[in-house]
Structure 1
Amino acid sequence: MTPSSQIEKTWLSHVRHELRTPVNIILGYSEIILEDLESTELQTALLQDEAIANLKTIHDCGTQILSLVNTLSDSDYVEFNDYQVDLGHIRLKFHAPVNTILTLIDHLLTHEDLSASHADLEKIHVATNNLTQNINRIISFSVNQPNYQQPARELLTLTGTAINPVMVEETAQTITALEGEAEVVMQTVNTFKILIVDDKEANRTLLSRRLSRQGYLVDTACNGQESLEMLEHEGYDLLLLDILMPQMNGYEVLTQLKKHESWRNIPVIMISALNEIDSVVKCIQLGAEDYLTKPFNPVLLKARIGACLEKKRLRDQEILYTKQLAQAHAEILKVNHQLERMAALDGLTQVANRRSFDDVISQQWRMHCQMQQQLALIFLDVDYFKRFNDHYGHLQGDDCLRSVAQAIAQTIQRPNDLVARYGGEEFAVILPQTSLPIACAIAQTICQAVRTLAIPHKHAEMNEIVTVSLGVTSIVPTTEKSPEHLIKLADQALYKAKAQGRNQVFALTGE
């Protein structure tokens, strides 16, 4: 496979993964809004039931789209030349759920009673449009450019998604290099190099001529010590080793070979006038691949050498493929780690997302149940954020959330602490092994850090800058309760902080 085609395949794999990002936004935000609606009451029960039903339909459509995105990852669809018609069919399948989502979002945005959820609804709307554009680009490209003639860099930026071109190219180059190694091995399997070790010149010359005629590269050594010295500087695929030689006999040479890390896998055929069974057994026990007695049958010699070299070829191939697997596995782990990190982050603020928060709070709860140490939680909310959005616009609102998130993240220094976007303008900070006084001090630091940003907010009631309200709690978890108990306490504390005038910290004990 050429480097270009490998980049194309790797690019396609990454694009397919990135398509899941907008789908996750659709599913995630519809879940958050549903949770909000189910815990609040709208003006009329009929409107609330209608909104919940519509959001459930949006979520179902998101699940249907995810299934279609997964279809693009199926191995049957990897080669673009083979599935242009299928892609057109897939685009038709996308049409219905996408239009349903957009229609329902437009309808929900007309309800003033849902104004608290408008920002999240608009995010679903944008994500759906982005997904549609990416799908259309990929499908149009595959249909109009079936031979992939575009340069690799153009391919990498085709969809406009957040794919790292360097990561894709590095992965593709690694796989291409490994495939190149395999091709080299396959091309040179017939150019084997054999070392003949015999103290008799006539024997060496005879074997050398026979094997050279069969296409092998042949070197000779007149004794065991010379053969070991030659092995230090040359690589050989097979040794033909005489047993009875002066200075160092064949058994001793064989023993040295099997002890050496680099030589132990070189196959050895013992060639000797000795035909006693004990000699044969001893050679096999020491690691020889085969044993031939002199005078040897040329046909049998050819067959035995061929069989040994085939074993050597297969062994070398196995070593190469093991190396390929190890390197590919390392690359996959690296890419998966990056993708997992991306999946765990909130796309807007680059702090942990709600799903990461849920996972970590559950893990920490279980750990603190065992350790019987305090687990603290801070909930904070940007004060009057809806007014901010209405006055400054959603783009400024997004910038505000990013700045607040980074201010929080820079305040939290311990490696096991977690800053997460809980939903909308609400953030959470998990503080393992932290008492209430320390958690309150951290919350005060966060409150001051946000004030220090001095983000203008003309519609704040008491200040003309963006501020936050924070609720803090810390308890020793028990198996009789769940993480929801800690979350409820932190939420109640946040409510108290808002009720007392906002821009402040309120602490609530778990007693």
Structure 2
Amino acid sequence: MVDTQDHCLVLLIDDDPMVAEALRLMVEGEDDLRMHYCSDASTALDVAEQLKPTVILLDMVMPDIDGLTLLRYLRVNEATQSVPVVALSMKDDAKLKADIFSAGGNDYLIKLPESIELLARIRYHSQCYIRLLQRDEAFRALDISQRKLAASNIKLQQLASMDGLTGIPNRRTFQETIDTEWERATRDSDPLSLIMMDIDFFKKCNDHYGHQHGDEVLRRVAKALAGCLKRPADMVARYGGEEFAVLLPGTDLDGAANVGEQLRSTVEALQLENAKSQVCEWVTISLGVASCIPALGDIETEQLIKRADEALYEAKEQGRNRVIKAPESAEGNSASS
């Protein structure tokens, strides 16, 4: 990026060396100005790309390529399209001026101008261009910063919403989701089902095989549970310890029990060792299922969770590795087929 307190860099494109020398002498001695001279219009575009001037003084009458044509080339070139161009001409021609401005020129000077006028125009256009570069660079830096911040915020939100060990939603996210789905089910008079489940004899498994094995069991079970859910609205979360919760919007009690049986058989089919289990040699789960059609003011989410928990307790009492449905209740318009 160009420093406004360093210099303004002038590129003079003119085939007349006498004019070039006269303009050079006007600039000479000005600490904030430097001039580069290009006499060949056919190479001027390449020179401008490499030099990166802050202003271009462009003669309108040159052999091979006239000034207007070169101006148009400058304006379609990405490296020079924004660089100010001051046209130089021997004539004070209104039509020529109009053509120059139409082609993208910024200013017009009759050769040879007074030194004070030339220097003032060079400084003015250079400083405007430098401020443009600074603004664009600041915007780019701001855009990069905002993108990084947005990415960091997304990552933080993901970390805050997911369980670090299993990679599935955590209890906080579960609670937010069930509240949202409760409102939707209340509005649409749809059923909402919940499955609460525990890994059977997980403490014995953990004590026998060690915590690393216990962590791997939790990860594998979580992955298997998530793989059983096919609808975008269905959700599995780690509720705490070895306990998981599955939320099934728009599903009645019998439908949720069928999903529960699929979850149970899928986990058992993993054949994860649990020699200390009193159910079988593999890791198994017990599940409690509850469902309702929420009636605003009649039942709260905590009651649905409590009923699913009670059904889970009953599944354990009946021998574990099974699915138990909560008893039907008029409370909250309990949903069943």
How does the TM-score come out when normalised to structure 2?
A: 0.73
In 1, the alpha carbon distance for the partners of 2:24 and 2:186 equals 76
Note the C-alpha offset of 1:358: 1.5
Partner of 1:363: 180
Give per-residue Cα distances to partners, 1:96-120, cap 9 Å, x unaligned: xxxxxxxxxxxxxxxxxxxxxxxxx
Correspondence 1:304 to 2:121: yes
**2:20/2:37 contact within 8 Å kept:** no
Partner of 2:139: 322
- Select which of 193, 196, 203 maps to 2:19: 203
Note the C-alpha offset of 1:470: 0.8
Give per-residue Cα distances to partners, 1:399-450, cap 9 Å, x unaligned: 5544433442344455554321112332112234545555333322321233
Q: Secondary structure at the match of 2:88?
A: strand
In 2, the alpha carbon distance for the partners of 1:419 and 1:429 equals 4
Deviates further, 265-274 or 229-238: 229-238
The 1:317/1:447 distance shift into structure 2, 3 A limit, reads same
Correspondence 1:333 to 2:160: no
Correspondence 1:424 to 2:241: yes
In 1, the alpha carbon distance for the partners of 2:16 and 2:96 equals 20
Letter matched to residue 170 of structure 2: N
Deviates further, 399-408 or 343-352: 399-408
Give per-residue Cα distances to partners, 1:449-505, cap 9 Å, x unaligned: 333434325363x44554321122455556666544543443343244334332211
Q: Secondary structure at the match of 1:216?
A: strand
Partner of 2:305: 487
- Select which of 272, 276, 281 maps to 1:458: 276
Note the C-alpha offset of 1:507: 3.0
In 2, the alpha carbon distance for the partners of 1:479 and 1:346 equals 31
In 2, the alpha carbon distance for the partners of 1:360 and 1:366 equals 10
Aligned residue pairs total 325
In 2, the alpha carbon distance for the partners of 1:359 and 1:265 equals 52
Partner of 1:349: 166
- Select which of 296, 309, 318 maps to 1:500: 318
Letter matched to residue 497 of structure 1: A
Give the structure with the larger helix fraction. 1
**2:49/2:80 contact within 8 Å kept:** no
Give per-residue Cα distances to partners, 1:323-367, cap 9 Å, x unaligned: 222233333333333333222222343332111112222333445
Note the C-alpha offset of 1:251: 5.6
In 1, the alpha carbon distance for the partners of 2:186 and 2:82 equals 54
Note the C-alpha offset of 1:241: 2.4
The 1:250/1:436 distance shift into structure 2, 3 A limit, reads farther
The 1:219/1:478 distance shift into structure 2, 3 A limit, reads farther
**1:204/1:220 contact within 8 Å kept:** no
In 1, the alpha carbon distance for the partners of 2:38 and 2:26 equals 13
**1:381/1:468 contact within 8 Å kept:** yes
Partner of 1:467: 284
Partner of 1:383: 200
The 1:392/1:302 distance shift into structure 2, 3 A limit, reads same
Note the C-alpha offset of 1:393: 7.3
**2:225/2:236 contact within 8 Å kept:** yes
Letter matched to residue 239 of structure 1: I
**1:267/1:289 contact within 8 Å kept:** yes
Deviates further, 228-237 or 316-325: 228-237
Gaps of 5+ in 2: 329-333
Give per-residue Cα distances to partners, 1:101-144, cap 9 Å, x unaligned: xxxxxxxxxxxxxxxxxxxxxxxxxxxxxxxxxxxxxxxxxxxx
**2:14/2:59 contact within 8 Å kept:** yes
Note the C-alpha offset of 1:248: 6.9
Give per-residue Cα distances to partners, 1:241-270, cap 9 Å, x unaligned: 234667876566555644555433111223
Letter matched to residue 314 of structure 1: R
The 1:198/1:338 distance shift into structure 2, 3 A limit, reads same
Higher relative contact order (CA 8 A, sep 6+): 2
Letter matched to residue 19 of structure 2: N
The 1:403/1:228 distance shift into structure 2, 3 A limit, reads closer
Give the structure with the larger strand fraction. 2
The 1:189/1:253 distance shift into structure 2, 3 A limit, reads farther
Partner of 1:268: 85
In 2, the alpha carbon distance for the partners of 1:482 and 1:422 equals 18
In 1, the alpha carbon distance for the partners of 2:207 and 2:60 equals 93
The 1:398/1:249 distance shift into structure 2, 3 A limit, reads closer
The 1:233/1:454 distance shift into structure 2, 3 A limit, reads closer
Q: Secondary structure at the match of 1:502?
A: coil
Residues 53-68 of structure 1 correspond to what in structure 2 (within 5 A)? none
Letter matched to residue 431 of structure 1: L
In 2, the alpha carbon distance for the partners of 1:470 and 1:256 equals 74
Partner of 2:259: 442
